Copies of this chain bind each other. A is one copy, B any other.
């Protein structure tokens, strides 16, 4: 349906939360308390993200998760890819071929679309994602002008 899964959304919400929490470790408990999302599922998502080294985990008191890189350098594409696989838009866009490809006349076109969609995700950083709602003042035009 051209939608992100909840997994991705939860993951992004959590990451955005962490991005704002500075560089301290953030526990699942905290995130769940603030964001009101299923604890168990979030835990799994974060585990995956930790496995892919998008976040690092520390156990024990005071532990939790933390971004491994600045939010400005983490693209949505990377997160989404980890959380729901490489392919977007259609099935043939991640290398795996579909039964119809021999008779499919739009394969190349679709792949082009997929590429563009992906580049949207690639150009969108976690920083931007959380900045949109961060209680920051809005010198938006300036910031954008410089950032882009």
Contact: B91 with A3, CB < 8 Å? Answer: yes
Type the 1/0 row for A106-125, where 1 means its CB is closer than 8 Å to any CB of B: 11111011001100110010
Contact: B89 with A17, CB < 8 Å? Answer: no
In the complex, A103 has a CB within 8 A of chain B:
yes
Residues of chain B within 8 A (CB-CB) of A124 are: 109, 112-113, 116
In the complex, A76 has a CB within 8 A of chain B:
yes
Contact: B104 with A13, CB < 8 Å? Answer: yes
Tally A residues with Cβ within 8 Å of B: 46
Report A1-51 residues with CB < 8 Å from chain B CB: 1-5, 9, 12-13, 16-17, 20, 34-37
In the complex, A61 has a CB within 8 A of chain B:
no
Binding site for B on A (CB under 8 A): 1-5, 9, 12-13, 16-17, 20, 34-37, 76, 80, 84-85, 87-91, 100, 103-110, 112-113, 116-117, 120-121, 124, 128-133
